[in-house]
Structure 1
Amino acid sequence: MAIVHSRITGTGSYLPGAPVSNSELIAAHGLDSSDDWIAERTGIRARHLAGEGVAASDLALEACKRALEAAGRPANDVDLIIVATSTPDYVFPSAAALLQAKLGVTNGGAAFDLQAVCSGFVYALTVADKFIRSGSHKCALVVGAEVFSRILDWSDRGTCVLFGDGAGAVVLEASDKPGILATAMHADGSHHGILSVPGQVCGGKAVGDPFLRMDGQAVFKFAVKVLADVAHEVLAAANMTADQLDWLIPHQANVRILQSTAKRLHVPPEKCVVTVDRHGNTSAASIPLALDEVVRSGKVGAGDTVLLEGVGGGFTWGAALLKL
């Protein structure tokens, strides 16, 4: 019996509205900060923010349309939709179910959300790969979609300047050629306190703190370590070394984290994809956004070996090694 693999056959992304510069954000919210201060510490110069009434599934819809077009697939070929998001439209139904309806998919395929914060896309890609390799599904939409602007405290200059909204998607299909070479997922809930939104909806009102809170220094130290570790893990699983990578696409949180991760892996800076300067941290959307940008630019193409990796609140972390 032939071994079933999974391969990415199309990518797509979507950023809402015009870019909002650091200076524009500072002026809009009266922040005690400056463009130079933000850029020096984070590498971020701009981000996109969704307008009122625009939900995660709306951003996901546009990204998925572009990914399906790139793959040459009609929406009804999709039998699995996984949306990685921490900012879904509703408590329920899932953003994935809403997306399925907006795409016009009527074949009864599975659709669900996955919540692993900034590691969400890697988690979702890993899960979709296992579904396809099991033989149960043949064509998946794997999406990262976020409207983090809805959970930001605009008076907290240490967090509100870091994040943006957006969506990225890939079409993942069954193939006789390996595409996803190795994956890994991890979590350690004991670190939940250094990055969280410690609130919930109960009895018709928000209970606890409904805004994102973060210990930036603790997150930095943790992220740099686990990103290097999980990269080595998936490379070892595929019997490869870092010098065989064509591209490294880490979660776009902070340019210093990206630089430190690449340095630990001995990956040259020119092989590390950076979009955080223009997108900010879009959480689960950041990796597929970056992937789509470099694919559409022609910088990354068929046959390239690419390492995707992310770390997020929970704490969660993971990586996926793939051949395009």
Structure 2
Amino acid sequence: KQDVLQHLLDEQAITVGPHDQISVPLSAALKDGDRIIVDQAVPVTIMADGKTTTVYTTEKTVKAAIGESNIPIREQDKILPDTSSQLKPNMTIRVLRIDKHTTTTKHDIPFTVIRKEDATLEKGQLKMVKAGQNGQLVKTFEKVYQDGKMVSMTLLAKSMEQPAVNKIVAVGTKEKPKPKAVALSAASSASQSVTKSGLSLKAKKVLNNVTLTAYTAGFASTGKSKGDAGYGITASGAKVSEGRTIAVDPDVIPMGWWVYIEGIGFRRAEDTGSAINGKKIDVFYESESYVKQFGKKRGYTVYVLGPTKPKLS
């Protein structure tokens, strides 16, 4: 019996909210046969760009609600739930900003050391034929960021910008000449008596102004590494031992003979070396760092004693 729409709605206890849509104005006059449509808005929460907004919409899908809210959506962005999903009251819609960046990184590729035998070099000698150079590998990655945080990283490509150049080292294989016999004997009448370290020594020969150096069993001194054949074995066949082994010129100090070195002590001639000529002695030590510190020492006096180490009486 009401003649105005608002009066009819009041009579039927139908509330029209500020965001609802109605097919005719509330002040419209009614006539027989009228069809009135009230489209009620539902609350929806939209989270995008670090902000949370609640909107009321009469749209039916997520896509339509996003469009109505004037939030810009890029092709790579992601919307949860899917844009085709039907809207429900109090639904939460998330807009995830997806960004992709391409980066490149450079990585060193170590060179390889190649050893080649050389019959022109004495056994144990080393000579660098070609210097090595590290290569460089370039990798291209794609990083994907979601709302400013990286969520994935994918290798797109890799290329060798600069190949490694192998280092080539010549290793001597030429046999060393056999030591010449030295005309010294344990019974030499030219022995000199001297007292050292509490012992009375009879020196077969006294060497003045002797130069001392130091060496180890490692690659830097011998060209051999642990596991190589002959590693730690001297020219005399004995195994190197700190506090005993020295390398000498067999023409000056016979192999197997003991000596007394001022400031060093007793040592035994067990090894030779291509750089050990004349009045030079190479003293064996285990520590590579100590050998580097040892350097070259000059002006030492060495007493050549004989094949038997003196003992305390």
TM-score by length of 1: 0.19
| Higher share in helix | 1
Higher relative contact order (CA 8 A, sep 6+): 1
| Higher share in strand | 2
TM-score by length of 2: 0.20
The higher radius of gyration belongs to: 2
